[in-house]
Amino acid sequence: MILNRLLSLKQALSLCWQSSRNWTLASIILLVIRSFLPVASLYLAKRIVDALTQALTAKNSPTAFQEVFYLIVLTAAVTILNDLCGSLVGVVQETQSQVVTDYVQNLLHAKSIAVDLEYYENAQYYDRLHQAQSEAPYRPSLILNRLLQALQGGISLGAIALLLIALHWGITLILFLAIIPLLLVRLQSSKQFYRLWQQWTAQERRAQYYSELLTRESHAKEIRLFQLGTYFQNHFKHLRKEIHQGKLRLAWQRFRTEAIAQSIATLAIFAAFAVIARQTLQGALSLGSLVMYYQAFQRGQGLLRDTTRNLASLYENSLFLSNFYNFLHLKPLVLDPPFPRPIPNPLQVGIAFENVSFRYPHSQRSVLEAVSFQIEAGETVAFVGENGAGKSTLIKLLCRLYDPCGGKITWDGIDVEEFSTTELRGQMGVVFQDYARYNLTVRENIGFGNGEKAAIHQAACLAGVDRAIARLPNGYDTTLGHQFDRGEELSIGEWQKIAIARCLLRQAQILILDEPTSALDPQAEAEILQKFNQLTQNRTAILISHRLSTVQFADRIFVLEQGKIAESGTHQNLLQQQGTYARLFNTQAYYYQ
């Protein structure tokens, strides 16, 4: 346990060091300077009182005021230096914490990209992500600051302890022991807070979800139409109230235990003060020493209190940071082989599914069962089937967003697990059913920094969105969506065409269109289909669609039923077979008559 905490501290410090060496060094230098200043001013106060007492006894000594004046100037200089360092610490800490926060955010983003898609379909992942995202960015610099403050307090305390030991070692020991209950109480409540915070994560996330529902454009229409606003607001308020009540209960509990522990420490200080007051009256101590010891007690108590707070905070921060490391240590399951094989380019034979079975992680339901088929290089195939038959799942497996639970997928006979995932995915141009809409310029939406102007324009023409782009105020440089200033919204069909253009721009060997024309008007659909041969020239293409008119041009059509290939053949073959395809086609054709 203690080892884990120490490891967390070490990791946090190395994060600070890696992200901001110079600022970390500056913090350490300021720490060293500020550690010795309180003791210096204590010592100077003693010297001033003693010099004054001597001057009063010696009466009219010409050098007496000179010495006192010199000591006062020195004390002023020490105080100014202390204030200056205090202000500098503020600047250094703020800058450093920004640098560290950005660094940690970068690590979080890099990990979010690297983890498998599976994690995004798992509530525990979101809990972890939320915990890491909400706490990790600022905890490492807080750890460094607390550690520096604890060290600074420790050094100052050490120096004060040396002063006090000269007075009486027993008193010093009692003063230090008296603070231990406070330290234990604070460590305990830090642990308790962390435990409760972990329990609150799911509630916090749910509350955040309600808040997003209420504030995002995506739900704005339905919320107004179905009058869901108050419903979500009440849920949000209820959850927040529960969390607040939990926090308040903890704060009261913390207050009660800390008050008792704090009183023990204060009583010890005043008992010690009574002892030195008695010694002064007995003439064993000078008045200057009395002042110095009194101040030493006061500062010592303050420092001890701060140090316990810093230690408890260090402990708490290290607990919170452990979530971040848990997140960083998530292991991807879709792995690259140690020595990836070059990907066949161009594909000679084709792609094959050999007895592929699949079940989503955390699900008992089998989605694909021993599915086998071959897609020849350059061929255009289509997958059709009812909702939930497993069509999109096939595509996810093909892109290695998941690996099959049984069987294998091959390219020219080589298992796809032998290729680098990045290279494999680089060979695929995919338009998913739930394609993304980026609130960026048209050019970025299609090219993302790749592709010449002409190539982007050509992709837009092929996808049939060039005319819509021409109507936008800044053409390809128009920002799309409502998120940012002067953004222009497109229709769903136009967004879909932009996604198709994005896919076409990639020089991918395999073109995959999952419901490519679901939002397109009949004219646009007809145009895309006419161009389809041109679009898939020299490429292998996979088409998924519920509109059977869209797929009849495919070289071969596979009908998926409950995770199995039920039929396959050309459009004409399948119609002649009088099976599921013929039934679905005739049903659709009937409604068009």
Ligand X SMILES: Nc1ncnc2c1ncn2[C@@H]1O[C@H](COP(=O)(O)OP(=O)(O)OP(=O)(O)O)[C@@H](O)[C@H]1O
Residues that bind ligand X (CB under 6 A): 121, 360, 363, 367, 385, 387-393, 433
Taking the complex as a whole, the smallest distance from the CB of residue 469 to ligand X amounts, in Å, to 29
Residue with smaller CB distance to ligand X, 227 or 364: 364
Q: Tokens 């229409």 sit at which residue?
A: 221
Helix axes 217-225, 180-215, angle to 10 degrees: 70
In the complex with ligand X, the residue whose CB is nearer, 369 or 527, is 369
- Which stretch of DSSP H or E encloses residue 502? helix 492-505
230 versus 387: smaller Cβ distance to ligand X: 387
Contact 143, 269 (CB under 8 A): no
Nearer to ligand X, 121 or 379 (CB): 121
**What would the DSSP string read from start to end of 7-48?**
HHHHHHHHHHHHH-HHHHHHHHHHHHHHHHHHHHHHHHHHHH
The 8-class DSSP code of residue 349 comes to S
- CA distances (Å), origin 454, targets 443, 447, 460: 11, 11, 10
CB of 372 to ligand X, least distance (A): 17
Output the smallest distance, CB 563 to ligand X, in A.
Answer: 7
Query: How far apart are CB 388 and ligand X at their closest, in Å?
Result: 4
Q: Closest separation between CB of residue 396 and ligand X, Å?
A: 8
Q: Which runs of consecutive H residues, i.e. helices, occur in 381-452?
A: 391-398, 421-426, 442-447
Q: Is 205 left (phi over 0), alpha (psi -120 to 50) or beta?
A: alpha
Least CB distance to ligand X at residue 347 (A) = 24
List, edge to edge, every strand of the sheet that includes 406-411: 366-376, 350-359, 406-411, 414-415
Q: How far is the CB of 428 from ligand X (least distance, A)?
A: 17
Give the distance from CA 267 to its chain's centroid. Answer: 46
Cβ-based nearer residue to ligand X, 38 or 390? 390
CB under 8 Å to 488, separation ≥6 — which residues?
472, 473, 478, 479, 480
Beta strands in 377-523 (DSSP E): 380-385, 406-411, 414-415, 428-431, 510-514
Closer Cβ to ligand X, 70 or 432, answer by number:
432
Which is closer to ligand X, CB of 362 or CB of 471?
A: 362
Q: Retrieve residue 141's tokens.
A: 């610099």
In the complex, what is the shortest distance from the CB of residue 508 to ligand X, in angstroms, rounded to a whole number?
21
Closest distance to ligand X from the beta carbon of 135 (Å): 28
CB of 551 to ligand X, least distance (A): 13
Closest CB to ligand X among residues 273, 432: 432
Nearer to ligand X, 209 or 360 (CB): 360
Buried b / exposed e over 187-216, threshold 16 CB at 10 Å, is bebbeebbeebeebbeebbebeebeebbee
CB of residue 592 to ligand X, shortest distance in Å: 20
CB 382 within 8 Å of CB 547:
no
HSE-CB at 518 with a 13 A cutoff on CA atoms is 17
Question: Tokens 């979010």 identify what position?
Answer: 112
The least distance separating ligand X from the CB of residue 392, rounded to whole angstroms, comes to 3
Longest dimension (CA), the chain: 126
Q: Of 240 and 546, which has the nearer Cβ to ligand X?
A: 546
Asked if 96 contacts 141 with a C-beta cutoff of 8 angstroms, the reply is yes
Report the nearest approach of ligand X to the CB of residue 389 (Å): 4
Nearer to ligand X, 47 or 391 (CB): 391
Nearer to ligand X, 181 or 385 (CB): 385
- Least separation, in Å, of the C-beta of 371 and ligand X? 12
Spatial contact of 437 and 501, defined as CB atoms under 8 Å apart: no
Asked if omega into 346 is within 30° of 0 (cis), the reply is yes
Q: What is the DSSP letter of 441?
A: B
CA distance 120 to 132: 15
C-alpha distances in Å from residue 538, one per residue of 194, 347, 392: 58, 10, 24
Nearer to ligand X, 391 or 502 (CB): 391
Q: Which is nearer to ligand X, 295 or 433 (CB)?
A: 433
